[in-house]
Structure 1
Amino acid sequence: MACSRGAASPNAHTQRRLFAASAGYCQNPSCSNELFVDAAGVSIHIAEMAHVFAATDGGPRTKPALSKEERGAFGNLVMLCANCHTMVDKAPSAYPDQMMLGWKREHANKLQGLFGAVKFGERSGARAVVEPLLAENHAIFIQYGPHIDAARNPESGAAEQWKRKMLTRILPNDRRILAILDANRHLLGDYEKTTLEQFRQHIDDLEAFHIEGNREDASRFPNELPKILKD
């Protein structure tokens, strides 16, 4: 997902925002390809950060009045698969800036509906939405996590498979859980609010590790989270 455009290249924080906003899918609504796929046992990504207004003067949808910093800002970037990125830059007149920005808004609205980040009146309703996501993430961790025997073999492909699961399932699920809990903070007890904030920092650390390659020690998954909203 790197971009070598100097100041017009998004910084690490913007890259993380873009990935979170995409939830692992191309933001072109007529495409929606997964951005991380398995090919012959190897996990690869086809994610590319496309500039709405060109990174350089004279490029697709050029807008010379923009500074380099504005060109590399979150609002001027869309996460696309490699094919869609090539398409929008090869035929910029067919894909004007308002269309691309519309894709981003439509994708965000779609995810908002998918994430089910609605406010519930009772704890049981919010728990019913959160619990399956927690269960899926736990099952993925048990089957593919770095603790399994295959992970010790560098030729097994287990590490790549774990990273793909992290990027395409666990992190999007984590973001969905976070959105639901934030929308239903009024239902949480004081200790649960502390658990929520620990979970928020855990997600931030996971994204820094798996998206930015930041190798600093990450905070651990909160032990109390699986019981949140459970009476």
Structure 2
Amino acid sequence: MSCSRGQANPDRNTTLRLFADSGGYCQRPECANRLFVDTGTKNVHIAEMAHIIAASDDGPRASPQTSAAAKGSYDNLILLCANCHTSIDKAPDDFPEPMIKGWKRKHVEKIASLFGAVTYATRAAARKAIEPALSENSAVFDLLNPDSDYRDNPESDAARVWQRKMRAIILPNNRKILAVVDANSHHLNVNERKTLEAFRQHIDDLEAKHIGDSGDVASRFPKDMSDILTGL
């Protein structure tokens, strides 16, 4: 997902925001390509950050009057699979700026809808909405706990499976959980609100580590998050 065009190059926060909005899928509406692919021996990403207005003054959908900083901003980027990125840049007249921005907007709306980020009347209903994602993440963690012996061998089969499931399951599930709890934050008590903010930082750290390749040590999953919205 890298790009090297000076100020037209998106920063890490923009990269993470694009990934979060994509939900792990190409943002072209008629394309269902996953952006992380399991080849059998590796988990590779085929995601490419595409400039809507070209980074260069003679590229597809060029706009010389647009600043380099604006070209590298979130609003001017869309996350696509390699095939769709090639298509929009090789036939720019068929893919004008308003069309591509419409793709991105509709995809973000679709992901929000799929994540079920709606307001529920009760704590129990909100809890029920996040229960499957929490349970799935817990099952993956219990099976492939990164504190296991393979932590000192990042090239091991177990480590590769952990990385694949982190990107394909845990990170998207985290975003789903966060969206639902944010939409129902009025049900949270004071301690739960603190737990939610700790979970938000945990998500940011994980995405920076596993997508942004920052190499940072991620903060731990806040244990109280497992019980959020339960009880009174």
Aligned to 1:95: 95
Q: Aligned-residue CA RMSD in angstroms?
A: 1.4
In the alignment, structure 2 segments of 5+ residues that lack a partner are none
1:133 counterpart = 2:133: yes
Aligned to 1:32: 32
| Structure 1 residue 164 displacement after superposition | 2.0
Alpha-carbon contact 1:3-1:10 (below 8 Å) kept: yes
| Structure 1 residue 155 displacement after superposition | 4.4
Alpha-carbon contact 1:42-1:157 (below 8 Å) kept: no
Aligned to 1:114: 114
1:154-169 aligned at under 5 Å gives the runs: 154-169=154-169
Report the TM-score when normalising by structure 1. Answer: 0.95
How many residue pairs align between the two structures?
231
Q: Deviations over 1:137-169 (max 9, x none)?
A: 111112233234555555433223222211221
CA distance in 2, matches of 1:156, 1:136: 23
Alpha-carbon contact 2:154-2:160 (below 8 Å) kept: no
Alpha-carbon contact 2:8-2:70 (below 8 Å) kept: yes
Q: Which runs of 4+ in 1 moved over 6 A?
A: none
Farther off after superposition, 211-220 or 5-14: 211-220
CA distance in 2, matches of 1:43, 1:57: 35
In the alignment, structure 1 segments of 5+ residues that lack a partner are none
1:64 counterpart = 2:45: no
CA distance in 2, matches of 1:64, 1:58: 8
3-state SS of paired residue (2:223) = coil
Alpha-carbon contact 2:146-2:162 (below 8 Å) kept: yes
| Structure 1 residue 214 displacement after superposition | 2.0
Letter in 1 for 2:86: T
Aligned to 1:195: 195
3-state SS of paired residue (2:192) = helix
Report the TM-score when normalising by structure 2. Answer: 0.95
Q: 1:130–1:107: structure 2 CA closer, same or farther, 3 Å change rule?
A: same
Alpha-carbon contact 1:115-1:176 (below 8 Å) kept: yes
Alpha-carbon contact 2:22-2:79 (below 8 Å) kept: yes
